[in-house]
Chain A
Amino acid sequence: KQEVTQIPAALSVPEGENLVLNCSFTDSAIYNLQWFRQDPGKGLTSLLLIQSSQREQTSGRLNASLDKSSGRSTLYIAASQPGDSATYLCAGSTNDYKLSFGAGTTVTVRA
């Protein structure tokens, strides 16, 4: 069974600083690695998907990397803004699309 760990559990940074969120997983046979954002009282918004054959994905200020051999993924958010404050979840999927989630990193960006 895939186990997913996210470190740190919480992070508080001043506006403008770059964010680095870490995710580790136990099963290197991961199919896809997906990062989500969850705002308080809301559902999940997909940020980036990295397929198992890829090493990274980028979207605007977001960049996510995947290293299957070490069982790690990192989400970078450049030049953070107060609107980036949310909980960020990483999830590994099997080839039948079942997701195993980490506990999340709660980010606060201070204005």
Chain B
Amino acid sequence: SAVISQKPSRDICQRGTSLTIQCQVDSQVTMMFWYRQQPGQSLTLIATANQGSEATYESGFVIDKFPISRPNLTFSTLTVSNMSPEDSSIYLCSSPGPGNTIYFGEGSWLTVV
């Protein structure tokens, strides 16, 4: 299976600030994805992190709010910009692994106060 590590695991952030979440995969992967899970909700895809090009965002998500970097085939970052309490969520990184199974990191739990 693929091992995906995320940092930070948890953080409490002040309104109006920005936070960058890191995602590291233990092997080179073509595709990496970022999801959001709001309290009591299921997961929603934010964007696909493309290596060497701009991320592809899903409807309702924009680059100014969620800038994403993908500098190489094992690493990606997601920044949550100008945070408000509505951004309090779990942010999860994922990638396909062996046998097309999709694996997730442990998530980054953000609370905005």
Interface, chain A (partner B; CB < 8 A): 32, 34, 36, 41-44, 46, 49, 51, 89, 91, 93, 96-104
What residue in chain A is nearest B1 (Cβ atoms)?
A: A46
Q: Does B112 contact A (CB under 8 A)?
A: no
Q: A49–B106 contact, CB under 8 A?
A: no
The 10 closest A-B pairs by CB, nearest first: A43-B106, A44-B104, A43-B107, A101-B42, A101-B43, A49-B101, A103-B42, A97-B96, A43-B104, A46-B101
Q: Does B66 contact A (CB under 8 A)?
A: no
Give the shortest distance, in Å, between B91 (CB) and chain A (any CB). 10
Give the shortest distance, in Å, between B40 (CB) and chain A (any CB). 9
The count of chain B contact residues (Cβ–Cβ below 8 Å) is 24
**A104 contact set on B, CB distance < 8 A:** 42
**B1 contact set on A, CB distance < 8 A:** 46
Hey, what's the 0/1 contact readout for B70-107 against A, CB within 8 Å counting as 1? 00000000000000000000101010100111111111
Give the shortest distance, in Å, between A40 (CB) and chain B (any CB). 11
**A91 contact set on B, CB distance < 8 A:** 43, 102
Give the shortest distance, in Å, between A39 (CB) and chain B (any CB). 11
Q: B45–A99 contact, CB under 8 A?
A: yes
Q: A99–B43 contact, CB under 8 A?
A: yes
